[in-house]
Amino acid sequence: MSFLTKRSNEKRVSALANKLKKGRILRFMEAHNAISGLIVDDIKINVVKNGKRRFLEFDGFWESSFTDSASKGLPDIEIVGIESRLHTINQIMEGTKKPMIVDGDTGGDPSRFEYMVKKFEAAGVSMVIIEDKVFPKRNSLETGTRQELEDPVLFAEKIRRGQLTKRKKDFMIMARLESLIAGLGLKDALERAKIYLEAGADGIMIHSKKDDPDDILEFAAEFKKFPKQLIENKMLCCVPTTYNTITERELAEAGFNIVIYANHMLRASYLAMQKACREILKSGRSFEIDPYCAPVKEIFNRVGFLDVKEKDKEMAEKFSSKIKVLIPAAGKDELAKKYQRSRALIEINGKSILERQIKALRNVGLNNFVIVKGYNGELFRMENVNYCENKEYETKHILSSLFCAQDHMNSPFIFLYSDILFNENIIRDLLRISQNKSIGDIVLVVDSSFHQHKNRIDRDLDLIVTKNKTQDSIRRVINSVDEKVSFIGEKIDKSSADYEFIGIAYFSENGAKILKDTYFDVVVKYSNNRFHEAENIHKANFTDIIQEIINRGYEVNVLKTHKGWMEIENEDDLKLAETIYKDA
Ligand code: SPV
Ligand code: MG
């Protein structure tokens, strides 16, 4: 994962020194932000040369003043200060592994340069290159620009001060010669090179904006002739932006150790972005530019978003594994009688409602099911689930059935009607919000679409009235922690109801305790007395105990969903389900 990549800045400083020991020419590619850095870190190609397979990649990043400034919409004139450069540097370093060389511009005055050295080294940078121009410099590539060079003795002093500031020997300071850029010629460049090397520079970068490499090759040839003690372990570097036909191999043969591709990531992306804009304008849609765009998933993957998704899933599964699902399925109603089995076992295109429910629940990581059987209970043959039994299902209804599973109510659980089919995303949302303790201990999933079809419904619905109702301006699940149930039941007037309860509820451990305490408190008292909408507690619905809980002052919350579920109550529902759930 990129943003969690573990790395030690201190070790990373040495990464360049370690690579240089290999003795081959190193290639550095410009990066101007984190994503360009990730690309430079990743890209590898496989080439076969002289029958041998080789992997090629960049050795590290060039954090360029030109492209860092341009990315911020600024000219390359040292407007972007050290702190801002550090911000970019840190972003690039964050998820990458390779060494970084930073373009330090002129370094400023010696005190400013000391600060730069200290901060860059601490950020894990391996090398800073400073150019021998007067602060504030102008970019070197534009013809006709004022190019004022620093007094070489003053510049040498800056190098000396920098070397005294660094903590690790492996952190390197390279001097960049701008004599050829300023039109002062080879002789000036060679004289300056000597002075800077004597002051302790770890190497020399010779810069040129000519179309051919003759000048820098000539410089390299003269550099080799310097006294051995002056150039021992010193590096030679160049930036072939304008003289770009020369190859790395030729540069290596001329004595160069480091080649820098100084601005190509920015320039390439600039062109690609322009193309995308033009194509979209031309076509009035984005289809045509798709082949030139990286897939969203690839970018998600590279910046660690898919890992985050995986971890979210793992966490949800860890949490879900503790949650049981209690499904009372004992009842003998009209439809059950017709099919001579619990409604849960009625098949829709060859698969029972219960099988469909369990498949959807397993898909979201729930694996612990408790089914309360009753009517023709021997027909429940599903494996890897727990069964309880309500033997008195003729006289004891759904609430009593639920309490046949009371031994399974010591941990959080989901209560589920046995005759509903639902989109698994509803359960996913329920699990997600149930992890948020502030949502409350008891949550009922409610349908907010009921208002649209309430006049066409001829069956009894479990209706809900809430307080603190929030305005539904969007269609999908939105949940308001403030919206609490105040009334629930079948006898509520449709016109005053806010929602329909869909038969799915979540109880936290504490919610389960509230449910049990309430039930055991009323079960004897209402054995032969009306209990809310029911003749007595044994014939009570789930909604009756919820109303009792609310009346006792406990909060019951709602999770709003918009459609995505159906109840199977009669033959018409079955027919409709058969057209929706076509898979066997
Ligand atoms: C940069 O990339 O910022 C450089 C190299 O300093 S150049 O733009 O060629 O001057
Ligand atoms: Mg620069």
- When pLDDT is cut at 50, 70 and 90, the band that residue 320 belongs to is confident
Per-residue pLDDT, averaged over 5-21, amounts to 93
Residue 428, number of CB atoms within 10 A of its CB: 17
pLDDT single digits (tens) 61-81: 999 999 999 999 999 999 999
Q: Which atom of ligand 1 is nearest to the CA of 66?
A: 3
Nearest ligand for residue 262 CA? 1
Which residue has 């990066």 as its token pair? 31
Question: Is residue 234 domain-shared with residue 333, that is, in the same domain?
Answer: no
Question: Is residue 281 domain-shared with residue 350, that is, in the same domain?
Answer: no
Please tell me whether residue 260 adopts helix, strand or coil conformation: strand
Per-residue pLDDT, averaged over 480-498, amounts to 87
Q: Which atom of ligand 1 is nearest to the CA of 131?
A: 6
Question: Is residue 239 domain-shared with residue 285, that is, in the same domain?
Answer: no
In this prediction, residue 132 carries a pLDDT of: 98
- Inform me whether the pLDDT recorded for 473 exceeds 80: no
- Inform me whether the pLDDT recorded for 571 exceeds 70: yes
pLDDT single digits (tens) 404-442: 999 999 999 999 999 999 999 999 999 888 877 777 899
Residue 304 domain-assigned? no
**Structure-block tokens of residue 125:** 């940078």
Distance in angstroms (rounded) separating the CA atoms of residues 494 and 450: 9
Q: Which is more confidently placed, 433 or 87?
A: 87
- When pLDDT is cut at 50, 70 and 90, the band that residue 475 belongs to is very low
Residue 3 domain-assigned? no
Domains identified in the chain, total number: 3
Q: Which atom of ligand 1 is nearest to the CA of 209?
A: 9
Question: Is residue 461 domain-shared with residue 393, that is, in the same domain?
Answer: yes
* Residue 306, CA distances (Å) to 1, 12, 313, 422 in order: 9, 27, 11, 27
Mutate to test the pocket of ligand 1, among 210, 263, 266 (most ligand atoms within 8 A of CB): 263
- When pLDDT is cut at 50, 70 and 90, the band that residue 474 belongs to is very low
pLDDT single digits (tens) 278-306: 999 999 999 999 999 999 999 999 999 99
Distance in angstroms (rounded) separating the CA atoms of residues 249 and 232: 21
Q: Which atom of ligand 1 is nearest to the CA of 181?
A: 10
What is the pTM (predicted TM-score) of this model?
Answer: 0.71
Those residues with Cβ within 8 angstroms of residue 404's Cβ, 6 or more apart along the chain or in another chain? 328, 330, 372, 388, 389, 390
CA torsion angle 364 367 373 376 (round to 10) = 80
Query: How many Å lie between the centroid of ligand 2 and the Cα of residue 103?
Result: 6
Q: Which atom of ligand 1 is nearest to the CA of 76?
A: 3
Strand ranges (E), 456-556? 463-467, 484-489, 499-507
In this prediction, residue 166 carries a pLDDT of: 98
Question: Is residue 222 domain-shared with residue 342, that is, in the same domain?
Answer: no
In this prediction, residue 478 carries a pLDDT of: 47
Query: How many Å lie between the centroid of ligand 2 and the Cα of residue 343?
Result: 75
Residue 303 domain-assigned? no
Q: Write out the residues surrounding ion ligand 2, Cβ under 5 A.
A: 65-66, 103
Nearest ligand for residue 180 CA? 1
Mutate to test the pocket of ligand 1, among 74, 78, 100, 139 (most ligand atoms within 8 A of CB): 139
Question: Is residue 241 domain-shared with residue 335, that is, in the same domain?
Answer: no
Which residue has 């450069």 as its token pair? 85
CATH code of the domain containing 195: 3.20.20.60
Question: Is residue 137 domain-shared with residue 284, that is, in the same domain?
Answer: no
Residue 407 domain-assigned? yes
Distance in angstroms (rounded) separating the CA atoms of residues 375 and 331: 6
Q: Whose CA is nearest to atom 5 of ligand 1?
A: 262
Question: Is residue 508 domain-shared with residue 397, that is, in the same domain?
Answer: yes
Within 6 A (CB) of ligand 1 lie: 64-66, 76, 103, 139-141, 239, 241, 262-263
Query: How many Å lie between the centroid of ligand 1 and the Cα of residue 60?
Result: 16
Question: Is residue 204 domain-shared with residue 146, that is, in the same domain?
Answer: yes
Residue 168: its H or E element: none
Distance in angstroms (rounded) separating the CA atoms of residues 90 and 389: 63
Q: Is the peptide bond before 136 cis (omega within 30 degrees of 0)?
A: yes
Among candidate residues 298, 317, 351, the one where a domain is terminated: 298
pLDDT single digits (tens) 232-250: 999 999 999 999 999 999 9
Distance in angstroms (rounded) separating the CA atoms of residues 531 and 522: 9
Which residue has 């970018």 as its token pair? 299
Q: Which atom of ligand 1 is nearest to the CA of 62?
A: 2
Residue 4 domain-assigned? no
**Structure-block tokens of residue 253:** 């043969």
**What average pLDDT does the structure give for the chain?**
93
Query: How many Å lie between the centroid of ligand 1 and the Cα of residue 254?
Result: 22
In this prediction, residue 365 carries a pLDDT of: 87
In this prediction, residue 78 carries a pLDDT of: 97
Residue 376: its H or E element: none
- Inform me whether the pLDDT recorded for 454 exceeds 70: no
pLDDT single digits (tens) 202-222: 999 999 999 999 999 999 999
In 328-476, alpha helices (H): 334-339, 353-363, 398-404, 424-434, 450-453
Residue 2 domain-assigned? no
In this prediction, residue 435 carries a pLDDT of: 79
Q: Whose CA is nearest to atom 2 of ligand 1?
A: 64
**Structure-block tokens of residue 224:** 């080799």
Residue 486 domain-assigned? yes
* Residue 498, CA distances (Å) to 34, 454, 470, 474, 483 in order: 49, 11, 11, 16, 11
Those residues with Cβ within 8 angstroms of residue 543's Cβ, 6 or more apart along the chain or in another chain? 462, 488, 489, 490, 501, 532, 533
Residue 179 domain-assigned? yes
Write 48-55 long-range contacts (CB < 8 A, 24+): none
* pLDDT > 90 fraction of the chain, expressed in percent and rounded: 85
In this prediction, residue 206 carries a pLDDT of: 98
Question: Is residue 229 domain-shared with residue 378, that is, in the same domain?
Answer: no
* Residue 270, CA distances (Å) to 88, 141, 241, 266, 285 in order: 18, 18, 17, 6, 20
Query: How many Å lie between the centroid of ligand 2 and the Cα of residue 537?
Result: 82
Query: How many Å lie between the centroid of ligand 2 and the Cα of residue 128?
Result: 11
User: Are the C-beta atoms of 175 and 205 separated by less than 8 Å?
Assistant: yes
Distance in angstroms (rounded) separating the CA atoms of residues 531 and 225: 104
Mutate to test the pocket of ligand 1, among 61, 68, 140, 177 (most ligand atoms within 8 A of CB): 140
pLDDT single digits (tens) 355-404: 999 999 999 889 999 999 999 999 999 999 999 999 999 999 999 999 99
Q: Whose CA is nearest to atom 10 of ligand 1?
A: 140
Query: How many Å lie between the centroid of ligand 2 and the Cα of residue 137?
Result: 9
User: What length does the chain have?
Assistant: 584
Weakest mean pLDDT among 4-18, 472-486, 566-580 = 472-486
Distance in angstroms (rounded) separating the CA atoms of residues 129 and 105: 7
Question: Is residue 203 domain-shared with residue 276, that is, in the same domain?
Answer: no
pLDDT single digits (tens) 132-189: 999 999 999 998 998 999 999 999 999 999 999 999 999 999 999 999 999 999 999 9
Mutate to test the pocket of ligand 1, among 66, 128, 209 (most ligand atoms within 8 A of CB): 66
List the catalytic residues. 76
CATH code of the domain containing 324: 3.90.550.10
Question: Is residue 318 domain-shared with residue 214, that is, in the same domain?
Answer: no
* Residue 339, CA distances (Å) to 42, 111, 425 in order: 62, 90, 30
* Domain region containing 156: 9-262
Nearest ligand for residue 267 CA? 1
